[in-house]
């Protein structure tokens, strides 16, 4: 294996499953010759924050410790789709705070990074059900473990961000990319025209172009000897 990709599914923190990503994960495996592990994290509202990031962190730490033995490689990447991208970022921040730098890169597809509705971008989704379901009774939704836009973003691996220009989360993604860049991150932001939220999950030419870009970018970073 050339690497292992830790995939975190989307679904607004309250829907979805690891199995629902099987088709896309198979394409990734076939295209790059890598293994893909997907996390069935606990879902809101029955299991609000911090249940989901706790599960994702556990999976990431397991891979950091066991990937070489189980898969024959220490090259690791992480990524997610929508809520999965948010959780992937949260996981990277938790690992960095533990002093664990096992992941070589990350692919974040149209995540949400301000769940507090305090920024102009965050206010665009202030009434969405998933905010209440996921954040639950948390007293401060600007907590960086809930809303990564407020985190210290230094010390992260290279990140590819993918978003459509018709996505309600576009401004949130642009703000996150700007903060990552200002923090010194190696950030590659790709904005795709006429593309709504979740567009890479649909059988369209633009989705195919984005997926090919993701495969190329991931392959380059997992094959890097640096």
Say if CB 77 and CB 221 are below 8 A apart. Answer: yes
pLDDT single digits (tens) 130-160: 999 999 999 999 999 999 999 999 999 999 9
- Residue located via tokens 């989705």: 207
Q: Is 33 helix (H, G, I), strand (E, B) or coil?
A: coil
How many domains, the chain? 1
Q: What is the pLDDT of residue 226?
A: 47
Please report, for the domain that includes residue 48, its CATH number: 3.40.50.1820
Q: What is the mean pLDDT of residues 33-57?
A: 98
Whether residue 118 has pLDDT greater than 60: yes
Confidence (pLDDT) at 223: 86
Quick check: 183 pLDDT over 90?
yes
Residue 141: domain span: 4-222
* pLDDT score for 1: 78
Spell out a b/e string for 117-127, using b for 16 or more CB atoms within 10 Å of the CB, else e: bebebbebbee
Looking at every residue in the chain, the average pLDDT score rounds to: 96
Q: For the chain, first and last CA: distance in Å? A: 18
95-114 pLDDT, tens digit each = 999 999 999 999 999 999 99
- Mean pLDDT in residue range 178-198: 98
Q: What percent of the chain has pLDDT over 70?
A: 99
* pLDDT > 90 fraction of the chain, expressed in percent and rounded: 97
In contact, 157 and 92? CB cutoff 8 Å: yes
Taking residue 218's Cβ as centre, other Cβ atoms within 10 Å add up to 24
**pLDDT value of position 36:** 97
């Amino acid at each position: 294996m050339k690497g292992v990709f830790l995939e975190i599914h989307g679904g607004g923190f309250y829907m979805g499953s690891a199995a629902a990503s099987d088709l896309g994960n198979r394409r990734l495996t076939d295209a790059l010759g890598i293994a893909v592990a997907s996390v069935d994290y606990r879902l809101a509202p029955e299991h609000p924050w911090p249940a989901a990031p706790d599960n994702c962190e556990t999976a990431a730490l397991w891979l950091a410790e066991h990937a070489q033995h189980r898969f024959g490689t220490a090259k690791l990447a992480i990524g997610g789709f929508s809520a999965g991208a948010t959780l992937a970022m949260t996981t990277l921040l938790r690992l960095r705070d533990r002093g664990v730098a096992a992941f070589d890169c990350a692919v974040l597809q149209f995540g949400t990074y301000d769940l507090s509705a305090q920024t102009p971008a965050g206010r665009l989704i202030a009434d969405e059900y998933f905010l209440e379901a996921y954040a639950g009774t948390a007293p401060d939704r600007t907590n960086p473990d809930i809303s990564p836009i407020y985190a210290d973003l230094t010390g992260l691996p290279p990140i590819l961000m993918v978003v459509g220009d018709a996505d309600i989360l576009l401004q949130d993604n642009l703000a996150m990319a700007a903060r990552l860049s200002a923090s010194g991150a190696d950030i590659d932001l790709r904005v795709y025209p006429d593309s709504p939220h979740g567009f890479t999950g649909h059988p369209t030419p633009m989705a195919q172009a984005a997926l090919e870009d993701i495969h190329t970018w991931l392959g380059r970073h997992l094959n890097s000897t640096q």
